[in-house]
Amino acid sequence: MSIPRLHLPLAPSEIAAFLARLALPDGFGRGVVEEFERRFAALFDRHHAIAFCRARSALYHLLQCLDLPPGSDVAISGLHVADFVNMIRLAGFRPVVVDLEADSYSIDMADLAAKTGAKTSCLLVTPLSGHSPDLARLAAFAKERQLVLIEDCSQAFSTEFQGRRAGSFGRAAIYSLSLLKSVSTMRGGVVTTDDAHLAERLRGRAAKAGKASRLSLAGEAIKQAVIALATWRPLFSLVVLPLLRVTSGLNDLFSRFQKSNRTVSLRASMPKAFLEAFSWPQAALGLGQLASFERREKRRIDLAVALRGAILPARGFSLPRLTEGSRNCWWLFPLLTDHPAALKAHLARHGIDSAPMLLSALASEEAFLAMGFKAPNAERLKARTLFVPLHEAMSGDDVERVAAALLAFQSPTAPKGP
Ligand SMILES: *Cc1c(COP(=O)(O)O)cnc(C)c1O
């Protein structure tokens, strides 16, 4: 049977239970959000965790609670959720896009130093697909330049650097709880921090949030149920992958369905949907996800280490360079290739699905062109990244199949055979 690109963290039974809870009056869920926040903070060894309706909303509130000089520069790396640029602007700051290294997902320190000036007040660091940059060096840089360091650990829940979890190097960290994230609650975002004063201000913000839209959450649950069905292996093998093979290239129908913001715009105001509260049915999902978190992370990391071991040394593609001292949590398993469409088609012939990078290259987003961002490596990395399947529902045999198919790939420019 074919191997789908993804496996939802939420089981169909959890999605069904979520829909049922959405129909209950709020009185049923008293204390559930607080309990989720307490357990989240405990799991990540932080004093405080505050939940918002999305990670982007969490960033917006966090930036406004850090006492940064109004209008100052906030540095963000070149591959990101496009709306993070809007959140920085709407919070009252100027986004500055920093490039990544050419062969890794780490921030390019030279570009960071060049773009950091007297007006820079904050640095947002984002480990991509679990790949950690040198967080100690970034923390030292932030300290020296008096920047507030924050980490977006949405793709790096259990990544470590020098034995310390990502998310513990800055003043605060944010985690997305959206589709596929290691703790998934349909949608949601958490800020963790050890700073009691900051936590109190954030709690004040969260308490003022509008009521969560149950209709919109139900819509998200149905979308996830559709994805669960489409990636159910018998159906995926017989119908979905064959359809994807004939209908689409790199950015296929599946990716477009999966992506939450299909168009990027320069927002003039905060959408009401971004200012909603995190609801108790979401928190109830989160408690279940926290309970199984360590087991799911360990399983995925074990499979990733096996896959990596089986495909090195790579030919026809490469792997983003790992930072010395880091422990990757392999949220996804990326390859870099100059021929992503050819590799994708090759894998599909072997019954193996794969996916492009869904994050935006901020410097090439049409809506942001006037801001003059420059991050050519990030643009190239996005174009060259292909994610192969790597998830906890895979067997050891599946991993061997992926490895064998990758080893059989002949890059179109590579010399053919003996
Ligand atoms: C998934 C993801 C987000 C998502 O943000 P939301 O506002 O919760 O949708 C943010 N940052 C990164 C790096 C992500 O991967």
What are 296's two structure tokens? Answer: 């799911």
Which atom of ligand 1 is nearest to 187's Cα?
A: 8
Residue 314 pLDDT class (50, 70, 90 cuts): confident
131 lines ligand 1 (CB under 6 A): no
Residue 328 pLDDT class (50, 70, 90 cuts): very high
Distance CA 67, CA 112 (A): 22
99-113, 232-246, 366-380: segment of lowest average pLDDT: 232-246
Q: Is 70 helix (H, G, I), strand (E, B) or coil?
A: coil
Q: What is the pLDDT of residue 414?
A: 54
Residue 245 pLDDT class (50, 70, 90 cuts): confident
54 lines ligand 1 (CB under 6 A): yes
Tokens 């174009």 belong to 383
Distance CA 392, CA 297 (A): 8
Distance CA 153, CA 135 (A): 12
Burial (0-12, 13-18, 19+ Cβ within 10 Å), 321: middle
pLDDT tens-digit map of 194-235 = 999 999 999 999 999 999 999 999 999 999 999 999 999 999
Considering the chain, what is the average pLDDT of its residues? 95
Q: What is the pLDDT of residue 418?
A: 47
70-84, 109-123, 174-188, 247-261: segment of lowest average pLDDT: 247-261
Determine contact, residues 386/337, Cβ cutoff 8 Å.
yes
**Average pLDDT score over residue span 287-310:** 98
**Average pLDDT score over residue span 313-340:** 95
pLDDT tens-digit map of 54-112 = 999 999 999 999 999 999 999 999 999 999 999 999 999 999 999 999 999 999 999 99
Which atom of ligand 1 is nearest to 331's Cα?
A: 15
154 lines ligand 1 (CB under 6 A): yes
Q: What is the pLDDT of residue 101?
A: 98
Which atom of ligand 1 is nearest to 176's Cα?
A: 8
For residue 183, the CA-to-ligand 1 centroid distance in Å is 12
Distance CA 26, CA 202 (A): 22
Q: What is the pLDDT of residue 214?
A: 95
Distance CA 176, CA 79 (A): 16
Question: Measuring from atom 14 of ligand 1, which residue has the nearest CA?
Answer: 154
CA-based nearest residue to 44, from 139, 181, 135, 173: 173
**Average pLDDT score over residue span 228-255:** 87
Domain positions in the chain are 18-207
Q: What is the pLDDT of residue 246?
A: 83
55 lines ligand 1 (CB under 6 A): yes
Q: Give the pTM.
A: 0.96
Q: Is 235 helix (H, G, I), strand (E, B) or coil?
A: helix
Q: What is the pLDDT of residue 416?
A: 52
Which contiguous run of DSSP H or E holds residue 139? Answer: helix 135-144
Assign domain 18-207 one CATH number from 3.40.630.30, 3.40.640.10, 3.30.230.70, 3.90.650.10.
3.40.640.10
Residues 6 or more apart whose CB falls under 8 angstroms from that of 25 comprise none
Percent of the chain with pLDDT over 90: 90
Q: Is 256 helix (H, G, I), strand (E, B) or coil?
A: helix
Tokens 């492009």 belong to 356
Q: Does 11 score more than 50 pLDDT?
A: yes
179 lines ligand 1 (CB under 6 A): no
For residue 136, the CA-to-ligand 1 centroid distance in Å is 23
Question: Measuring from atom 5 of ligand 1, which residue has the nearest CA?
Answer: 55
Q: What is the pLDDT of residue 390?
A: 97
Beta bridge partners of 338: none
